[in-house]
Chain A
């Protein structure tokens, strides 16, 4: 095994690329859960985003349009979830699962003629001057716009939840929909909006997989990324900054194990490929073990059905 073939600078730079899909999806889900809704369909929305983004990008030869339609695709699927859970009051766990099962099947159907094609490339935006700084340049300033966008989104979600009135209302709805309703807030509308935002983010995350990270379309290519995004929201105790840490941690594990595989490490390939999932489980255990803390941070109305009776 030749560990010297692993370049730490490239490793960190590719870590950010590996983490971006999950970061986007987890940020979206964070907002959804803060509004008190548990959408387990992240995986389904991601893969619909991956396929719709890929198809549009190939057909129009524009990655930008691809990302736009990926967001719309993810949002469209999330609106089915919104219709079922918010209007027809279905169980959120079951509906989220349905979203994932449907998304996996439907994306395979949509993408059947696009397997094995290359997507139009997404250019890197090298920040002038900064990108030439040794070590820091390649790590931080030689990425594509989506990576920068995802980092901006972390700040935006954090500031939205902490400092804006809309963010306060969103948190209040997630804390107690009955109280929010009694004060006259439109619980359902707020939640539908949050769900749509989550869908768009998941769609973007999926498209980042099919347009940048891989970049190809294959059936079931999200391979659990949506579930890991859900786990990262729990890991982050519903805080945007910690979502960033969680996603980059996961990205690091993924990239490291791929590099070890490439370097011919003396560990069975299967163990390396299952390590991201195992580490996610381990992290979940460590976070959940502290019961009092986990309970304090979780939105109190998470997953509960709201029906205004009065």
Chain B
């Protein structure tokens, strides 16, 4: 190319105690280039971008920005050099309004009135409409991302880093985002795009750097590779897709009839007239963008939040008023999204965490007195059956990696032989092999005659394992459709809340 590259990284190494996060990582980004950074969870993508953004300092290695040495001491220094970043977990403040949120991420913000004006201006130029005076807590996930992007754009960055930006978007919103990014790239901004979604990268990016276990394993042009080739580079081995034999679903087991419930958190979404029917032997997939009622639906199904008795029926009997343990007793089990602090107590041992949900069904307690020996045996059983990598059941949940803890949490419920199992984001932040194992276990459970409800924001996952699919939007659940009949367009419409669609079809 001849021109000076925008950013050159050479030999970056960063070690944490016990882990090499980045080892001898080199990559080059040209101006206007859309560069993908690809890798599994834990491959070192986050550490690398935190180094570029000045949040982490490398142990070794050099960076050059426009040919000049570059070693930002803080995010503020990185921003002044023209680097901006949109975080995966947004760095937003719910109780502040859009303008305040934008202002706080800028080095030298203009006065409020002018800032509000510029927010409107930029948001219209790039097709990302936003009202500067709304509270961020009231915005949808997609709108929140716009706040982050606009915050970056107002600083005219030369390099925009985007960390997993599409995980919170509907397919239609992804399209809008991509056209914004293309427009930016055409205007001369380079983009470092972090993702593990291969098809997206193939449509958007010019270059890709693939990381595995902290090292660069390949540089390629994603348009010239198949998704499978890239996936195998990323994982380092051939992938197995979960398989299942075809089962015809049996009798309805769990029914929700027009269930409505308020959220317990101030910025949560209210469930509005949700109906579903889960039958023996089938996997129901519930998609939707984060924050559209997923947590609330799980809370209502697990019994953490109680509702009218008739709103939820199990085998025809009303159970809406029952708490979590009464439902466990009947065989209705759940595994929430947040592993640390919700599904498991971080500081407690795996034995204690086995007691947490297992005491009722596994007979671990008798008239209130606990049998720790049995609890330990149950925990060890789960550890063995689900290949949980840990020195032993006495270790604290916090000490396990995300994937291993997730296997433990899901395994703990499956080992209790549930009639109905509800899981939220079963493979979020989990490496590919653990994710495959978890999906297989869920399929096996359904094959054994249980009804499985999978709530997830990973569409590929839902398409892979669910028999019927519906989407949550602002607390409403669309009608279920056979997964095999779905196209990306219909999914997008369902996620976007086109509720009258099913009327048109029937």
Task: Report A's interface with B, CB cutoff 8 A.
Answer: 165, 168-169, 171-172, 175-176, 178-180, 182-184, 292, 295-296, 299-300, 310
Given known A165-B109, A175-B93, A300-B94, contact A182–B75 (CB-CB < 8 A): yes
The 9 closest A-B pairs by CB, nearest first: A184-B75, A179-B91, A182-B91, A175-B93, A184-B76, A295-B266, A184-B74, A172-B93, A172-B104
Could you tell me if B54 and A179 are in contact, using CB atoms closer than 8 angstroms? no
Contact B56–A183 (Cβ < 8 Å): no
Contact: B100 with A168, CB < 8 Å?
A: yes
Question: Separation in Å of the B116 CB from the closest CB of chain A?
Answer: 14
CA distance A271 to B89 in the complex (A): 54
Residues of A within 8 A of B93 (CB): 171-172, 175-176, 179-180
**Do residues B103 and A175 form an inter-chain contact, with CB atoms below 8 A?**
no
* Nearest residue, chain A, Cβ from B56: A310
What are 30 pairs between A and B in contact, CB < 8 Å?
A165-B103, A165-B109, A168-B100, A168-B104, A171-B93, A171-B95, A171-B96, A172-B93, A172-B96, A172-B100, A172-B104, A175-B95, A175-B96, A176-B91, A176-B92, A179-B93, A180-B93, A180-B104, A182-B55, A182-B75, A182-B91, A183-B91, A184-B74, A184-B75, A292-B266, A300-B94, A300-B95, A310-B47, A310-B50, A310-B56
Greatest chain B CB density within 10 A among A168, A169, A180, A183 is at A183
Q: In whole Å, how far is A177's beta carbon from the nearest beta carbon of chain B?
A: 10
In the assembled complex, which residues on chain B have CB atoms less than 8 Å from the CB atom of A182? 55, 75, 87, 91
CB distance from A290 to the nearest CB of B (A): 12
Cβ distance A148 to chain B, nearest Cβ, rounded Å: 30
Dominant secondary structure at the A interface:
helix
Does B90 touch A at the CB level, under 8 Å?
A: yes
CB closest chain-A residue, reference B92: A179
Q: Once bound together, how far apart are the Cα atoms of A3 and B142, in whole Å?
A: 65
Residues of B contacting A295 in the complex (Cβ-Cβ under 8 angstroms): 266
Chain A nearest Cβ from B112, distance in angstroms: 9
Q: Is the CB of A296 within 8 A of B266?
A: yes
| Contact flag A183-B95 (CB < 8 Å), given A172-B104, A292-B266, A310-B56 | no
A310→B95 contact, CB < 8 A: no
Question: Cβ of B214 < 8 Å from any Cβ of A?
Answer: no
Q: Which residue of chain A has its CB nearest to the CB of B267?
A: A296
Instruction: Please measure, in the bound complex, the distance between the C-alpha atom of A300 and the C-alpha atom of B265, giving whole angstroms.
Output: 11
- In the bound assembly, the distance between CA atoms of A182 and B100 in angstroms comes to 16
Selected from A180, A292, A299, A310, the residue in CB contact (under 8 A) with B55 is A310
Q: Other CB < 8 Å A-B pairs besides A176-B93, A178-B91, 13 of them?
A: A165-B109, A168-B103, A171-B93, A171-B95, A176-B91, A179-B92, A180-B91, A180-B104, A182-B55, A182-B75, A184-B75, A296-B95, A310-B50
* C-alpha gap A310/B91 in the complex (Å): 14
Tell yes or no: B58 within 8 A of A by CB: no
CB distance from B45 to the nearest CB of A (A): 13
CB of B168, distance to nearest CB on chain A (Å) = 16
- Chain A residues with Cβ under 8 A from B103's Cβ? 165, 168
**Bound: A172/B89 CA distance, A:** 16
Chain A residues within 8 Å of B171, by CB:
none
Q: Specify which of A178, A179, A295 lies most central, judged by the most chain B CB atoms within 10 Å of its CB.
A: A179
What residue in chain B is nearest A169 (Cβ atoms)? B104
Within 8 A of A (CB), among B81-118: 87, 89-96, 100, 103-105, 109
Cβ-defined contact, B90 with A184, below 8 A: no
Chain B: minimal CB distance from A186 (Å): 9
CB-CB nearest in chain A for B50:
A310
- Residues of chain B with a CB closer than 8 A to A165's CB: 103, 109
Closest CB-CB distance, B286 to chain A, in whole Å? Answer: 27
Chain A residues contacting B104 (CB-CB under 8 Å) are 168-169, 172, 180, 183
Once bound together, how far apart are the Cα atoms of A171 and B75, in whole Å?
19
Task: Note all chain B residues with C-beta closer than 8 A to A296.
Answer: 95, 266
A292 to B267, CA, bound (A): 10
